[in-house]
A and B are shown apart, each in its own frame.
Chain A
Amino acid sequence: MNSTALLSAAKDGILTGSIYALMATGLTLIFGVMDLINIAQGILVILGAYLSYALQLHWHIDLFLGLLITIPAMFVVGIVVERLFFRRLTGPEKTGMSILITYAVSLLIEGTLNMVFSVNDVQLQAWYVNKSFAIGSVHFGFIYVAGFVLAAVLLSALYFMLYRTRFGVSVRASVADQTSAALVGIDVKRVSTITFGIGVAVTAVGGMIYGATNAFNASSSYDLISRLLTIIVLGGMGSLGGAMLAGVGMVFVGDMVGVIWSPIWSSMSYFIVLAVVLLFRPQGLFGKQSARVA
């Protein structure tokens, strides 16, 4: 195959990967601060996509402008979910229970979305969705580039928040050790709630871009969540840098495999990469080294 094909695949991997990185970052942040695995992250992305869809369909609000509404909306959704279901979750089986609870929540949301929007595939449309510009022989779709820029901006904002604000200090302290953080006076509950809200709010953006580049319905969430989980484990659960790197890396590898070999093996390469990496680094790329497992 020619160089155009390879360059295009690389371009696709990086642009699309940045969106997955954004969504995965939310997920890994939630795990890092709260020790919860939010299986509903997939369906929340779809919810964000449907919100953008509804805004556009009924009120003709542009997709990007609509984010000004959907991001706060998803933030609120996150807070509500956390308050309703996770407040009482304590104890050693917390993480296992969180899987169940978030799975049940995702079923609820999936069923509701099906009833409201029907199961037919939809896709977000806008005049610029199919437009592109070319650099050499490689074409860059507007929407993909916009998504990449947004993801980069948001991830930078997240980094800024974590490393330059007091709230960020509280978050990092909670990630390091919840008990100690509470002991030094950090309101861990408040930190958890807000973090969960942030983790969900990023799905609004991820959802909009995902919805503009894929035909989706509520059951698209299964594929999404399996990829997101794979990404955060590969990156190391709780590590933001890991999620970003793994997010871009996985999609990149998948697309290259698709072009060099066949699209059929594209998805499988995700999981094989994970399995191989975990063989040598069980904690993921940047994860915390846990006690030795015999």
Chain B
Amino acid sequence: MKLSSKHFRVLGAASVAGALSLTVATTSGASSGGLAAGAPVKIGISLSLSGDFSADGLAFQQGYKLWAADVNKTGGLLGHKVVLDIVSDASSPTQVVTNYQKLVTQDHVNLTFGPFSSLLSLPAGKTLSRSGYALIEGAGGGPSVFQAGLKNIFDVSLPVANNFIPFATWIDSLPASTRPKTVAYVTSNDPFTEPQLTTIEPLLTKAGIKQVYNKVFPAEVTDFTPIADAVAAAKPQVVVLGSTDVPTVSAFMQAFEQSGYTPKVFIATGGPDQGSTFIKAVGAGNADGVMVPNAWYGGSSNPLSKKMVAEYIKQYGGTAAGVSSDVVEAYSVGEVAAQAVKATGGFDNTKIINYLHSGAVMQSAQGPVKFNAVGENVTPTAFTFQWQAKGTKFVQINPVGDPNSVKVLFPKPAWGK
């Protein structure tokens, strides 16, 4: 899927939308954090438009743009049209620092939104902390980000460590006759995936499932056949894969097919939640049965989410199941920022930071948002999702017993096209 957007187009689109809304509301008499009436509010964002995180960076850009367009349709933030100032960091932490410095000191942005990945959020957060800016982000949820104890980082998405708990509960709930007996853990060497596996390993052991393979592979591996061969040779019935992107999952799936091996249960930490990108990579027939934990999915009944999904489909086509979770993460960042701005009556970052730490509950397309002292969102629950019906349905299966959960497709059907 090729997406080539330049940030100028963002500014162009936002300005057009903004110009239309200028005729609508006017600013109130209250303070706008120093913004003159009619002046646009600039939001600075550094995104990975190239490099390792580019696929996610581009999806994030879509989410941010969608939010900006929506907000400008209803008059902007406190009557000021929103203008996104997006720069590329090429997935480099060095560049991220320079970017946010430039955005703050040269472009004089009023607010800053986050980049993609825990690797980049932390340097960004530190840089912005020195200028007193808040960093509201949707994808830097690795524990290392919050361990630094910064007060200005706010991650609107689910903290990752507990992603697998509903899944583990489901496995535990299976009767002894059908419950899988062996499990293989294989994960990329990454601060996003490894904590999730660390959480689930004792849980599955307690459920009586024997670990037959547990290895970490370097993040830069591109030929997964040897690793998949080794996993297949151990014949595990459950495979828990720590992956961060579609190519990794798809490569494993292909390698498993080549090794003539199908696990009964296959769950990956990231990749299958990327909607149509995932289906295109693995083929609709192979997607069935693949599971992934997340706090949100395209078919969510949350009214804010439905609205966003509808707009996304109108602009980019496709189906609800095809919407990547990156898009909603970015969109939610905007929503939370908008609510903070409205509550504090302006764009003063200190006030915004205090408000976000005040325990206030905000709403987003991903669900409710409430931050703890280090900026983690403590309200969302993890769900487990699964592809069914030949790659056309992406449905919620866990927690079992949740009114929105459907029957789990178990065991996983054999590979086929």
Residues of A within 8 A of B (CB): 1-2, 4-5, 8-9, 11-13, 16, 114, 117-121, 123, 127, 129-132, 134, 137, 139, 141, 144, 213-216, 219-220, 223, 255, 258-259, 262-264, 266-267
Contacts and interface: CB of A to CB of B under 8 A. Distances in A.
Interface string B72-99: 0000000000000000000000000000
A133 to B, nearest CB: 9
17 contacts: A1-B233, A2-B233, A2-B234, A5-B234, A8-B226, A9-B226, A12-B229, A114-B50, A131-B258, A213-B225, A214-B222, A214-B251, A215-B222, A219-B51, A258-B230, A264-B217, A267-B221
A120 B254 contact: no
Given A8-B232, A262-B215, A267-B221, 20 more contacts: A2-B233, A5-B229, A5-B234, A12-B225, A12-B229, A121-B245, A123-B247, A132-B257, A132-B259, A137-B233, A139-B259, A141-B225, A216-B222, A219-B51, A258-B227, A259-B226, A259-B229, A266-B218, A266-B226, A267-B218
B225 to A, nearest CB: 6
B314 to A, nearest CB: 24
Contact of B226 (A121, A216, A220, A258): A258
A139 B229 contact: yes
A5 B231 CA distance: 8
A108 B230 CA distance: 39
Given A120-B55, A214-B223, A263 B258 contact: no
Given A132-B260, A139-B258, A263 B247 contact: no
A223 B216 contact: no
A215 B230 contact: no
A131 B257 CA distance: 7
Interface in B258-273: 258-260
- In this complex, the member of B1, B2, B51, B222 whose beta carbon has the largest number of chain A beta carbons within 10 angstroms is B222
Given A214-B222, A264-B217, A264-B218, A1 B258 contact: no
A4 B2 contact: no
A132 B258 contact: yes
Contacts of A123: 247, 250-251, 281
Nearest to A137: B233
B189 interface: yes
B402 interface: no
Given A263-B215, A263-B221, A141 B258 contact: yes
Interface of B: 1-4, 50-51, 54-55, 189, 215-218, 220-223, 225-227, 229-230, 232-234, 245, 247-248, 250-251, 254, 257-260, 281, 415, 417
A134 B233 CA distance: 13
Contacts of B259: 8, 132, 139
A132 B260 CA distance: 7
Contact of B227 (A16, A120, A263): A263
A16 B250 CA distance: 19
Nearest to A216: B222
B258 A130 contact: yes
Contacts of B1: 120
A16 B234 CA distance: 22
A226 to B, nearest CB: 11
Contacts of B50: 114, 119
Contacts of A114: 50
Contacts of A258: 217, 226-227, 230
